[in-house]
Every structure is written in structure tokens, then in C-alpha cells.
A and B are shown apart, each in its own frame.
Chain A
Amino acid sequence: MTLAWLIAIPLGGAVLAWLAGGFAGPWPRLIALAALALDLALALSLCWNHPLSLALPGNDSWLMRLDLPWIPRFGISLLLAVDGLSLILVLLTLVLGLVSVAASWTEIRARVGFFHFNLLATLAGVIGVFLALDLFLFFFFWEVMLIPMYFLIGIWGHENRVYSTLKFFIFTQASGLLMLLSIVALALVHQRQSGVLSFSYFDLLGTSLAPDSALLLMLGFFLAFAVKLPMVPFHTWLPDAHTDAPSAGSVILAGVLLKSGAYGLLRFITPLFPEAAAQFTPVVMALAVIGILYGGLVAFAQSDFKRLVAYTSISHMGFVLLGVFAWNELALQGVVVQIIAHGLSTGALFIIAGALQERLHTRELARMGGGIWSLAPRLSAVGLFFALASLGLPGLANFIGEFLVLAGAYQTSAGVTAVAAAGLVVAAIYALWLVQQAFHGVAPQGLALADLDAREMTVLGVMIGLVVWLGVNPQPVLNLAAPALDGLQQLANI
């Protein structure tokens, strides 16, 4: 039942926070914090109770499983299961959830209760996505996380929020429908072969498909995940959504929602369609490298802080895509670390962008005028730190992810890897240009700017700590993920 609680606690918290919105005081915020903290404790207890002895080869990589009937007529059940991979993603979701509640403490002043309802509902949906192993249930959560996010951007967003939120919705919805078609078709093929209608991941694994239909069904899944990730050329919803989202929305979007795309690629594509995926690999690896370079180059040209960071996300997600399709131990471990590292570093950059916007009422780098370092050294130093994390400085988390992805990808294709490594140069160009424009230079006359306060410093301090910790000691994460990744690779070998 623990798994059901993991989803139910944020959902309950969401309802409570909405109700508490009617009372004076910071009750919705406190309820949200408490619900997420409780959930985090629960998720951590899973790490605790299932020590890494499970990492031994030959063991089932699943730490816990819950199977309740839901719509037995159609073979749909409430099938939840957790392995190291899902657990890491759930932990990341909860940490970033806490971060985004804290980060929007002063930013969000209107309809506070409903805001936190949406925030927690999205998080519950994301956790559901990471835990659901019934494909129908997976799709259900896929939609659950989408709609509250639509409201978060549409209600509390910035200038162009209606356009952005519609774009976000249409992109994800259209690709999601393709996935639904694939899911239903896959279940029907499986029924024809085995006589049992089931949407369970475990049943559908190993369904034999004709090469053409396998490719078609895989594409349905792939497009949904590729749009979410996002992969070039399906990325254009992201900069708009990020630019107009409130800080918390951006943190959740970059840190967690995109990761559901990465998770889907890892969990479903190669395990369900090994041959089709192998056939498709060269195309995807090429697109991944294009994404790394293109995202970085477009980021360099942006004048809006948040838009710039959004494009860097596209570049970083290119590494994730590259790693997933390189599909070996090094690359997959790299993907896991990159997912966490990107969630933390990009999330922090969005918080900094939000902090600047709250103080200066602009996101335009040109209008910030630079010189912020002399007025707000703490804010600038933290910004510098995360820009450096973003450009892949060794000793910080992102480097571990990128290095492992490249090392794994090298075994698949040396040429592609060499081109991808050029992304490191591009990253240096955009990251340092961001630092120059935002923080360096001379401050305009008469500009007053408050430095980070204790709340902001605590939030960012925790994120700095995590990024450094992962950069010098990634082993706990690697150990937690290893059996799950091993399991996935074995599935694909059948």
C-alpha cells in the first residue's frame, strides 16, 4: 500500500491546500510543504527498507509491487511497482516539489489555495507516471499531470500565457493520443496472441510483433516521449511554456515533467520494441546530437533569461536521448545522473530568474543592465555556480551525467560522440554569456536590489549541496539505479 500512499498523500494535500485557501495565513503553503515532506519521508523509507543488497545480480530489480483490480473486464488494474529508477525519479520529484513551494512563497499572491492544489496534483500525477506499470493507468497519470500544469501556466503565468499554455497543451495532448493508440493496439495484439486482454507492462513485454507494426507502435510511444523530453524538432512548445510559467511551474516543468519523457523512453521503448528501437537508433542518435548543438546555439542568442535557460534544457535533454539510445550500462547510468543533475541545476536557474524578475520586473537580460554582482553578490554567486554546473564543470553533478553518457555513446558510435562533445564548447559559450549579461558589468545608477534572503538561500543552498554531492560522490545513486537498469537491459535482450 505504500505505493498508493505515495500518490495519495500529495493528492490529499492538494485538496486540503485548496480548502485552506479560504483561511487567512500561509496555510496552503504549509499544508503543501507538510504533504511533500511526509511523502519524501515515505519515499526515503523505501530506500532505507530495501538496502542495496537487492543490487545483487539475479535478483528481481523490483523493490515493491501493488496490484489491485480496477476494470477487470478490459484487463486494466491498479498496478504500481517501484524499482531503483522509479524511486530516484520520485525522490527528485518530491525534492523539487518542496523547492518550488518554497520558491513561490512570495511570488504567488493570488488564489494561493488553488495554486497549491494544482502544484500538488501535478506532482501526484508525475509520481503516478513513475510508478504505474499498467499501461492504461500510465496513460491516465500522463493526463493527470498535464491538466493542472495547464492551469499553473494559464492562471499564474506571465504576459503571453494563453498562447503558451495552449501550445503546451496541444503538443502534449496530440502526442499523448498517439501513445494511447499504440497502447490499445499493443494490448489487442497481445490479446490475439495469448487470448488474454491485459494492459500490464509485465504481460505485454515480449509480445512478438511484425517488424512494420512494431516500428509503427514504437513510433506512437516514441513521439509522446520525444515531445515531452523534448527532442528537436518537437521542442518549440518548451521555450514558450517556460518563459510564461511562474517559477514553480518552470521548476516542475524542467525538473520533473520533462523527465517523464526520459523515463518513458527508458522504461518502454527498448524493452517493449527491442528490434524496432535498434533499427531506429541511428536516426535518434543523430537527432540527439542535433538537439545538443542546436539547443545550445539558440540559447546563446536569447535575450530573455528564462527563454535562454529553456533552450539549454533542450541541449541537456539531447544528452539524455543520446544515452537512452546508446543503451549500455555506462550510458544509462549517465542518463539517470543527467536527469537529476539537470533537474537541480536548471530548476535553480529558473528560481534565480524568478528572483530577478520579482526584484526587477523584467526577464530581459539587456534591461537587467548587468552589474548585479556588486548589488547582490550572493544571488550572483549562486547564479554563477549553477551556470557552471550547466556547462558541465567536473566536480559537479552534470559532468558525471554527461561524461557517462558520452563514454557509453562512444561504444555505440565514436563519430556521433565526437560531435556531441562539441556541445561542451557551445555550453561554455551560452553559460558564460548568461553570466556576463546578468551579473557582470556596471550596475545602472540608482538601481537598488535586495540580495537573496534566508528562505531563498536555504532553498538554493540545499540544491548547491546536492549538485556538489552528486558531482563528487554519485555512487549511492548509481548503486540504486544499477539493478533497475540491469533489469531493463536484460528485458531488451530477450
Chain B
Amino acid sequence: MIYDALWLVPLLPLIGFVCLTLLGGWLSRRAMAVLGVGSVALATALAFTIGYTFLTRPPATGHCTEVIGSWLAVGNLHVRFGLYLDALALVMMLVVTGVGLLIHLYSATFMAADSGYRRYFAYLNLFVASMLMLVLADNLLLLYLGWEMVGLCSYLLIGHDYADPVNGRAARKAFVVTRIGDAALLVGLLLLLAHWGTLQIQPLLGLAAQGWANGSALATVAAALLLTGAVGKSAQLPLQVWLPDAMAGPTPVSALIHAATMVTAGVYLIARLHTLFELAPAVQHAVAALGALTLLLASCSALLQRDIKRILAYSTISQIGYMFLALGVGAYAAALFHLMTHACFKAVLFLSAGVVINALDEEHDIYHMGGLGRQLPGTSLAFLTGAASLAALPLVSAGFYSKGLILAQTWNAPGMGVWLWTGGILGTLLTAIYIFRAFFVAFLGRPKSHARCGATAAEAVALVVLAALSVTAGFVEIPAGLGGGVQAFTGLVASALPPGPQPAHTGNLPALLELIASLTAVAGVLTAYYFFRYRPPAATAAGAHPITAAVGRLWQSGWGFDWAYERLFVRPLVMFTRANRHDAVDALFTGIAAGSRALHRGLSRTQTGRVRWYAAGIACGSFILIALMVLP
């Protein structure tokens, strides 16, 4: 059976990593590329074959398990290298391998001039292997292994160009901030292990669902710890600060790790363990609220960035906010759908931005670009496709269908649904404005610099495929509001995830909501057109007022989170450790040593060699002794 080969999917990129690491010295650059891209290509081919089988002849139970071997067994704790494939894992596996392959291919020429070519491909292969391990793991410890390994690869690749200490700082920041979440996640794992005696995901969920009352304290603590882990990895409030700086890494890395795959691991985690979150309604509400808040704050910040990659980074934070919003209202399938389309359109945005940056000799500032539409027409078109999808332009973009599904189901959520929906709609407006601002400023208008070169063939292939997907990937799910009733995606994942909130009203409401969302997106594009293409002075004038300027600075700096964390945590920590560099505890022992030395000096001073002093000493001593004896 083809499912027996499932373990080869993560193993092939891992073999690529090992070969690149061990044989590296003997390989030509061409061989490195063949090995690096080839291993992922094989894994992708296998993954899609498995996916095809899963769609045509699904396993009877809706999932299958492959066990490679045992990892460790102590007492009641048994952890194995086991893979679990259901519709949720399948979607993740296909996204990771598919987008991963295209980005590997793109990298083969994009990184050609880099001196760390082998290191780059080794780490990228290791990343794909780890990410696949994360999404396919059938137990939480193996998931945690993948979780930490992708974090490591993220660190290594952000700091790929290690000569510049700025990159090193960004890489460390990313690792340490996410590790705060990871530590919480680990404590969550320990809690689950202590109470249910297993880390096997499916049995564990079954036990928890039976054993924990809805809203019980332990379930709430467990879910909150897991959420902290997810928030760190997926760059949500309040741990989002690492992602904009992570753009220091090479652009394909930003596309693969910091947009399409790794940062969505938190979304996957919550979807995978949704049973636990449903047992803790307070935490689930927090997921929705955090998502809504994050998407708004991040899109405000994206409005003010000049660095094209930072615009996209804030956009990623914001789009994952949509996914969290969906998870929080129980619309798991919608979250996963948006994860998939986002992986396509954000990858194409990053990859086309990469071509631009490369063509303009490492120019990141959109205000130094301009007029690229004529110089790099293909790349510009690819960017436009991605931008349209990100802005959720009606009908012709994948983002429209996935974001629409999230908004529709959010509206239907009981309780805060309408408020969350309003936040989502506001986000749609902001999203359309910030991404089309980037498009109008960088790609239209007067050229401000000369594009050195266009996309190579390999890069073009990746761009074309991803751009096509950014348009078409949404057609698998046509909402009822459009009279569609195509439900291929939600139908597929229905075997793994419960359905989202069902509409309480019928009639024209769904269509009306779709219409509002569509009009908002179009309004956003028009606003961007007015301010950044039609009358740019209007934008300058609006930003000149002291109040708007202050707000602008706040947004531009990411709402001052970095500023506050620097003063609250980083500086005190550095100050304390600096002050204690010589280890205050040692003062205790050196103090004892100094004390006895002083005593020694004092006593040795009495050894004067003068008989008079000795006689006086003896006399005094005798006097005191006698006095002590005589006195009662």
C-alpha cells in the first residue's frame, strides 16, 4: 500500500540534509542544487501520490497510522516514531511539500552567487523534513521535535549571512521569543502527560474529552499553555515581535518559513488539538480575540512600512490573525483553507519581491522602486496576482474564497460573532490598502532605478505556478452566497475537523455578507489608488498633521512592542547579568578567605619576639582566668 511509504516523505529531505552536510566538500554547486532540490522533489512526488490515493480511495477510518519504531519507553510512557495521516495532516503535507519544492527550485538560481550555497540547501532540506515531521507526528513529543527543529532552521536561515551581526541578532531574537512559547508548550505537554499518561494525540484527545468537564481548570490551563506555544510560533500578540526582524533572512526563506509554512504551525497545532480547546471555552475565546486584535494591529503597521519585506511580514502576522480568528470561533476548516491559499499567494508575493530586490541590488524601500511594471512585466504581474488574492478581490482570487469563508462563519459564531466579523471586515479594508499601496508605489509610476535583471527560468516557473494557484486555489470552495455549493475542501477535511458554526439565518444574508466583504476589498484598492497613485500629495498631507504623524510613528514601529520589551525585559536582564558577571555568590567564599587571612595577619602581629609583651600577655591571661574562677 502506498501509505506504507509515508515515512519516506520526511525522510527524503532528511537524507538530502545528511548528504549535503557530510559529502558537501566533494560536491559541485550543480550537484548541491540537484541533491537539495531533488530530495524535496521526490518527497513532493510521493506526497502527491499519497494525496491522490487518499482522495480516490480514502482509508476506511479516514486516517492511517505508520509506525517506524520506538523512541523511548520509560515506565508507562511510550513514545514512538509514528506518523498519522488524516485530511488535516494531508493538507499540511501537500502545502509543505508543494510550496517547499517551488521555493527550493527558485532558490537554486536565486542563491547562486551565495558563498554558503551548500549550507543554505542543507538547512532548507532539514527544514522541510522537520516541518513534515511536525505535521505528520502521531504523538506530541514527536510533534515537539519537529516544532523545535523548524525553529532551529528558522534561526539558522535568518542568520544565513552571518557576517552581519544584525542578521545574527534577528535570528537570536526569533529563536528566543519563540522559545518562550515553546517552553510553555512543553509544560503543557507535561501536564497532559501527567494527567492522561500518554502523549499519543488521538487517544489523549479521547481521554481528555471524557475525563475533563467543559471549562474545567486543568483543561483551561492546558489549553492556555498550548496556545502560548502557538502564539509564539505563529507570531501572534504578544509574541509577534520576532517576525518583522526575521526578514533579515534570504527572501526565499522568508517565503517558505516565515510566510507559507512554519509560522502556520500554531494554526495546525490548535486545529489538531481542537478537542482540548473546545473543553476550555475561555481559551478558545481568547484565540479568537487575539486573532482579531493581531490582524488589526498588524495591518495598521503594514500600512506604514517602506521596506517591501516588512510590509509582507506584517501582512503575514495579520493573515495568521485571520486564521486564529477562525480557529477561535470553531471554523477549523476555514482556517485551514485560508492557510492553504495564504501559503500560495504570500509565497508568490515574497518570491516576486525577491526578484525585484535582486534586480535593484538589494533595494528594499518601495519608495526607491517605482515603474517596475514596465521593466519587469512578468514579475509585476505575479506580484499583482498575489496582491489581489491577499486583498481578497472578489471572484478572481483565492483569498476571496478563503477569507470569505472565515468571515461568514465568524458572523455565525454565537456571542461575539458580529464584533469579530466587524474586525475582520475592517482588516479586509486595511489589507487591500496596504498591499495596493505597495503595488502602486513600487510597480507603477516613474522608474526610480534600473532593474538589472529579471527572473531566471527556475524562478519564473515557481512564480507562474504560485500565481496560478493564487487565482485558482479558491475554486474548490464556492460559497452558498454565490449560489455555488461547491464544497470540495470542507468536504475533504470534514473527516478530520468538525464543521464550523452553522448559519442561524437563511435567506439573503450570506449573499449580503459576501457583497459587503467584496465591496470593502474594492474600496480598499480604490483608497490606495487615490492616495498613492492618483494624488500622492494627499497622503503626504494626511501624514503631516502632528497627531497622524505620531500615530504613524507608533504604527510604523509595530505599536511600540519592541520598545517596551527592550526596556521591560532585555535591558534589565542584560544589566543584571552584567552586574553579576563575577558571580556574587563567590563573594561569600572569597569573604571567608579574606576574613581568615585578616585574622592570620592580626595574630601573626602578636608574634613580636619581645619577652616583655609575652610576659604581659601571660599576666593578663592569668588574671582573667583567676577572675573567672573567683567570681561566682
Contact = CB atoms under 8 A, between A and B. Distances in A.
Given A393-B152, A403-B141, A330 B74 contact: yes
A406 B152 CA distance: 22
B172 A433 contact: yes
Contact of A300 (B186, B193, B577): B577
B187 A421 contact: yes
A236 interface: yes
A478 interface: yes
B64 to A, nearest CB: 23
A440 B578 CA distance: 22
Contacts of A196: none
A460 B573 CA distance: 34
A400 interface: yes
Contacts of A373: 162
A329 B76 CA distance: 10
Interface stretch (A103-111, A129-137, A345-353, A407-415): A407-415
Nearest to A380: B162
Given A235-B585, A400-B72, A436 B165 contact: yes
B176 A425 contact: yes
A298 B172 contact: no
A478 B72 contact: yes
Given A373-B162, A421-B183, A428-B175, A297 B155 contact: no
B576 interface: yes
A236 B588 CA distance: 10
Contacts of A410: 190-191, 193-194
A64 interface: no
A475 B70 CA distance: 8
B553 interface: no
B362 interface: no
Interface in B174-201: 175-176, 179-180, 182-184, 186-187, 190-191, 193-194
A411 B581 CA distance: 35
A460 B325 CA distance: 48
A371 interface: yes
A441 B162 contact: yes
Contact of B72 (A167, A395, A429, A475): A475
Contacts of B75: 329-330
A421 B189 CA distance: 12
B374 to A, nearest CB: 39
Of B141, B148, B194, B583, most buried by chain A (CB within 10 Å of CB) is B583
B589 A236 contact: yes
Contacts of A436: 165, 168, 172
A418 interface: yes
B183 A414 contact: no
Contacts of B586: 236
A475 B187 CA distance: 23
B163 interface: yes
Question: Per DSSP, are chain B's interface residues mostly helix, strand or loop, or mixed?
Answer: helix
A406 B194 contact: no
Given A388-B152, A429-B176, A474-B72, A239 B583 contact: yes
B531 interface: no
A233 B585 contact: yes
Contact of A404 (B74, B145, B180, B573): B74
A432 interface: yes
Interface in B418-461: none
Contacts of B190: 406-407, 410, 414, 417, 421
A491 interface: no
B184 to A, nearest CB: 8
B530 interface: no
Given A407-B193, A424-B183, A371 B163 contact: yes
A404 B148 CA distance: 17
B349 interface: no
B71 interface: yes
A173 interface: no
A121 B108 CA distance: 56
A330 B190 CA distance: 12
A282 interface: no
Contacts of B183: 421-422, 424-425
A83 B184 CA distance: 37
Given A329-B75, A478-B74, A432 B172 contact: yes
Contacts of A371: 163
A233 B585 CA distance: 6
Nearest to A422: B183
Contacts of A4: none
Contact of A330 (B77, B141, B149): B77
Most buried by B among A233, A388, A432: A432
Given A373-B162, A428-B176, A475 B73 contact: yes
Nearest to B24: A377
B72 A407 contact: no
A373 B586 CA distance: 35
A478 B75 CA distance: 10
A54 B193 CA distance: 29
B28 interface: no
A167 B184 CA distance: 39
Interface centre among B74, B182, B585, B586 (most CB of A within 10 A): B74
A421 B191 CA distance: 12
A371 B589 CA distance: 38
Interface in A227-258: 232-233, 235-236, 239
Interface string A424-444: 110011001100100111100
Interface in B141-161: 141, 144-145, 148-149, 152, 155, 159
Given A301-B581, A432-B172, A424 B162 contact: no
Contacts of B577: 297-298, 300-301
B576 A297 contact: yes
B71 A441 contact: no
Contact of A298 (B71, B148, B163, B583): B583
Interface string B123-151: 00000000000000000010011001100
Given A298-B583, A395-B149, 12 more contacts: A297-B573, A330-B74, A374-B163, A394-B148, A403-B141, A407-B77, A424-B179, A429-B172, A432-B171, A432-B176, A436-B172, A439-B162
24 contacts: A167-B589, A232-B585, A297-B577, A301-B577, A301-B581, A302-B581, A303-B581, A333-B74, A373-B162, A394-B144, A407-B77, A411-B194, A414-B190, A417-B190, A421-B184, A421-B190, A425-B183, A429-B176, A432-B155, A436-B168, A440-B163, A441-B165, A474-B72, A475-B72
Q: Can you list the 8 inter-chain pairs with the closest CB atoms, starting with the nearest? A: A301-B577, A394-B145, A440-B162, A236-B586, A301-B581, A410-B190, A329-B75, A428-B179
Interface of A: 167, 232-233, 235-236, 239, 297-298, 300-303, 329-330, 333, 371, 373-374, 388, 393-395, 400, 403-404, 406-407, 410-411, 414, 417-418, 421-422, 424-425, 428-429, 432-433, 436, 439-442, 472-475, 478, 482
